[in-house]
Amino acid sequence: MTDVLAVPVEDHLALSVAVLTRLGVPADAARAQADLLLEGDLRGHASHGLRRLDMLAQRLRSGAARATAEPTLTWTTDSVLTVDGDGGLGPPTARLAVAELLGRVGRTGVAVAAVRNANHLGMLAPYVEEMAAAGVVGIALTTSEALVHPWGGTRPLVGTNPVAVAVPVPGGEPVVLDMATGQVSRGKVLDHAARGLPLAPGDAVDAAGVPTTDAAAAVDGAISPFGGPKGYALGLVIEVLVATLTRTALGEDVRGTLDPSDPSTKGDVLIALDPTAFGAGGAEVAEYLAVLRSATPAPGHDRVLVPGDRARATRAANLAGGVPVAQGTWARAREIADDLTEGDR
Amino acid sequence: MTDVLAVPVEDHLALSVAVLTRLGVPADAARAQADLLLEGDLRGHASHGLRRLDMLAQRLRSGAARATAEPTLTWTTDSVLTVDGDGGLGPPTARLAVAELLGRVGRTGVAVAAVRNANHLGMLAPYVEEMAAAGVVGIALTTSEALVHPWGGTRPLVGTNPVAVAVPVPGGEPVVLDMATGQVSRGKVLDHAARGLPLAPGDAVDAAGVPTTDAAAAVDGAISPFGGPKGYALGLVIEVLVATLTRTALGEDVRGTLDPSDPSTKGDVLIALDPTAFGAGGAEVAEYLAVLRSATPAPGHDRVLVPGDRARATRAANLAGGVPVAQGTWARAREIADDLTEGDR
């Protein structure tokens, strides 16, 4: 596509940092947020990339996101950390939590952080990858706005509730899962509706709860859970588990990642498990993954991948060739930065 | 179906206990195993019910399951429990682990058990339900024989790797997820092949990796992961996470739940999280679940269910009306018991 730029990494980061610091965000926190926007674009998930900067700026202006938030991190037991984000940006808050977990889990073997009152974390993979890079199994669960219909229902009542897991592999790259429990993203539904493109069967239902491939009908309907009733059950359990441990909102009360002014009422749970606490002598994971990656592909498939392989390859290619950013997204971010330079704060 | 008996609960338990104790299993362990077989049939999952007694008896005779195993439970940190099942039956081993976790998690807030060298646990729901009944969030993950093809692959290389989660709900029944990450069970594939019935699209592939509804072709092929690539990624991450924390086998090296003589090489991970350690003031889970359960059903659906609702209703009905057991299964169990009475041990 001709309207996608290849932006140098430094420029991508610098533009996000400029906007955020001009809105009063301290440099460290701005960089943490900028890193997550970069990771979204690097991995080809524009919906988690620089495109979000506009909404973040609006939320900082409205006060729904607090630029100078001071998160409170409290170890309520030796291995349970509660985090109140003070309404601040998600990435700096979650990075603090991950650092605390990593400083603790070597002794306790398991440590859990329950985060509330923080804004959108962005892609979850980078947090669990940070844990895996330290040799620790990482799990991240988040609630989000109700966009998915319950199995057998018509209305969106369940979040897209993503889950990320990274398992370190001695002598190899980690296995990394990062997925929403909805079949498609809201962004894809809106994009296809705007462009008159159909959705795939099973992606969504219309306002009456009838499965549809008409993206415009799906806009007024709901995203379907991935994998039918099992995916619904998984997404719902994430919703209830996260809300229970973080004491945050559920269903339609989850707000604050898709709008400019509602406080963020979702929650995040981060779990760290140190394999060394579970005994010596590892499983033969690297050998198993080699068997998978060399398995005969089925007709219509090029190869068998291990979760994390595709994102890793995409990220490496974009690191080398430039970060893909839609021209309109880049122009809008520049515009926001320029407006702020002129003192419109 | 006329060939399904309605067995009194006491008779169901007594028959299992008789067979197991006659094979040298101590009374307590026999009862723990019998309870799990009962739960399988009570919830309508015959594949996890009394039908398994024959294989368990064969495994006890061959020594693949040790009747008088003495599990070793070791707290390696304040919140990490490693369990070596000594080759014994799964349920008594896992029940010991759950009891240890529940005795610990009130103080630590989180506790994890990694179980190896134990036989098949049976249904996972009862373990996490026991935790939820104590007000604790329970998570259970297990590896199993490679029956599922990786996404884009042809051969079975991933276990059906089930996951169970129970979240206690103040003032209500817990939310309970218990599902395999394969689209269908191996038992269903074999059953449909034997009866000449088709599978559903997406259930399985043939030996060439081509999707098929021909159950006979699927017998030589592989079960598909539920939900396509996302379900594959979830099942694989469970495989790798469990193997890493329990230091057990992966892929085709996972053995010992479907055959009479191979040692059990799978692993089990149990996680307990005590919500009270995460702070006062709960989420409004009961209210949210009421909204879900009263939601307008989509065309073709009777109602919206919360995970655990159907199993709870089925269990209650069977508790009242008798445990459904296929006549052939009951006759075979009686035969095994009678043979043992005659001293054939």
Q: How confident is the model over A20-40, as pLDDT tens digits?
A: 999 999 999 999 999 999 999
Name the pLDDT band for A312 (thresholds 50, 70, 90).
very high
B288 within some domain: no
Of all residues in chain B, what percent are helix, strand and coil, respectively (each to 5)? Answer: 45, 20, 35
Cα–Cα distance between A239 and A243 in angstroms, integer?
A: 6
Name the pLDDT band for A113 (thresholds 50, 70, 90).
very high
Q: B27 and B97, same structural domain?
A: no
For residues B172 and A316, is the Cβ–Cβ distance under 8 A?
Answer: no
B291 within some domain: no
Name the pLDDT band for B343 (thresholds 50, 70, 90).
low
- Does the structure show a pLDDT above 70 at B154? yes
Q: Cβ of A153 and B296 within 8 Å?
A: yes
B82 within some domain: yes
Q: Cβ of A79 and B78 within 8 Å?
A: yes
The residue of A131, A167, A303 whose CB has the most chain B CBs within 10 angstroms, and thus the best one to mutate to test that interface, is A167
Q: Would you tell me which residues 55-114 of chain B have a C-beta closer than 8 angstroms to some C-beta of chain A?
A: 76-80, 82, 107-112, 114
A285 within some domain: no
**Quick count: other Cβ atoms within 10 Å of Cβ A193?**
17
pLDDT for position B1:
47
Which residues lie below 8 Å from residue A117, measured CB to CB, with a gap of 6+? Answer: A84, A85, A86, A87, A263, A264
What is the pTM (predicted TM-score) of this model? 0.97
Token digits of residue B189: 């594939």
> Nearest by CB to A230, which of B226, B241, B281?
B226
pLDDT for position B250:
98
Going from the C-alpha of B208 to that of each of A296, B51, B212, the distances in angstroms are 9, 31, 10
pLDDT for position B182:
98
How far, rounded to the nearest angstrom, does the alpha carbon of residue B82 sit from its chain's CA centroid? 20
Give the end-to-end CA distance of chain B in Å, rounded to a whole number.
Answer: 35
- Does the structure show a pLDDT above 80 at B280? no
Average pLDDT over residues A166-183: 97
Q: By three-state DSSP, how is residue B184 classified? A: coil
Cα–Cα distance between B267 and B270 in angstroms, integer?
A: 10
pLDDT above 70 as % of chain B: 98
In terms of residue numbers, what domain contains A45? 4-65+321-344
Token digits of residue A97: 């939590």
How far, rounded to the nearest angstrom, does the alpha carbon of residue A16 sit from its chain's CA centroid? 17
Q: Cβ of B299 and A210 within 8 Å?
A: yes
- Does the structure show a pLDDT above 70 at B254? yes
pLDDT for position A343:
57
Q: What is the CA radius of gyration of chain B?
A: 20
Q: A265 and A333, same structural domain?
A: no
pLDDT for position B297:
97
Q: B264 and B132, same structural domain?
A: yes
- Does the structure show a pLDDT above 80 at B304? yes
Q: How confident is the model over B122-136, as pLDDT tens digits?
A: 999 999 999 999 999
Q: Cβ of A137 and B245 within 8 Å?
A: yes
A56 within some domain: yes
Q: B59 and B93, same structural domain?
A: no
β-partners of residue B5 are B325
> Nearest by CB to B82, which of A208, A279, A284?
A279
For residues A198 and A192, is the Cβ–Cβ distance under 8 A?
Answer: yes
DSSP A171: T
What is Dmax (Cα atoms) for chain A? 61
Q: B96 and B38, same structural domain?
A: no
Average pLDDT over residues A120-146: 98
Strand order in the sheet with A267-273: A72-75, A80-88, A110-118, A267-273, A137-142, A163-167, A175-179
A311 within some domain: no
- ipTM for the predicted complex comes to 0.97
Average pLDDT over residues B137-166: 98
> Domain boundary residue among B278, B293, B313?
B278
A316 within some domain: no
Closest-CA residue of chain B to A308: B233
Closest-CA residue of chain A to B234: A177
Residue B161 dihedral angles phi and psi, to the nearest 5°: 20, 85
Nearest Cα of chain B lies from the Cα of A139 at a distance, in angstroms, of 10
Average pLDDT for chain B:
96
CATH code of the domain in which A169 resides:
3.30.1370.60
Name the pLDDT band for B283 (thresholds 50, 70, 90).
confident
Q: A248 and A171, same structural domain?
A: yes
Q: How confident is the model over A46-82, as pLDDT tens digits?
A: 999 999 999 999 999 999 999 999 999 999 999 999 9
pLDDT for position A283:
81
A239 within some domain: yes
For residues A71 and A85, is the Cβ–Cβ distance under 8 A?
Answer: yes
CATH code of the domain in which B57 resides:
1.10.1530.10
Which residues lie below 8 Å from residue A286, measured CB to CB, with a gap of 6+? Answer: A169, A170, A171, A172
The residue of B165, B288, B294, B303 whose CB has the most chain A CBs within 10 angstroms, and thus the best one to mutate to test that interface, is B288
Q: B76 and B32, same structural domain?
A: no
- Does the structure show a pLDDT above 50 at B345? no
Element (H, E) at B7: strand B4-7
Q: A116 and A96, same structural domain?
A: yes
Strands A110-118 and A80-88 turn out to be parallel
Name the pLDDT band for B2 (thresholds 50, 70, 90).
low
Q: B124 and B37, same structural domain?
A: no
pLDDT above 90 as % of chain B: 95
Which residues in chain A touch residue B243, judged by CB atoms under 8 angstroms apart?
A: 283, 285, 288
Element (H, E) at B332: helix B327-341
Which residues lie below 8 Å from residue A320, measured CB to CB, with a gap of 6+? Answer: none
* CA angle, residues A269, A273, A279, in degrees to nearest 5: 165
Q: How confident is the model over B163-222, as pLDDT tens digits?
A: 999 999 998 999 999 999 999 999 899 999 999 999 999 999 999 999 999 999 999 999
pLDDT for position A241:
98
Q: Cβ of B110 and A79 within 8 Å?
A: yes
Give the count of domains, chain B.
Answer: 2
- Does the structure show a pLDDT above 80 at A2? no
B297 part of contact set with chain A, CB < 8 Å: yes
Q: B163 and B128, same structural domain?
A: yes
Cα–Cα distance between A227 and B7 in angstroms, integer?
A: 35
> Nearest by CB to B208, which of A150, A299, A303?
A299
Q: A254 and A340, same structural domain?
A: no
* CA angle, residues B58, B62, B68, in degrees to nearest 5: 95
Q: B194 and B87, same structural domain?
A: yes
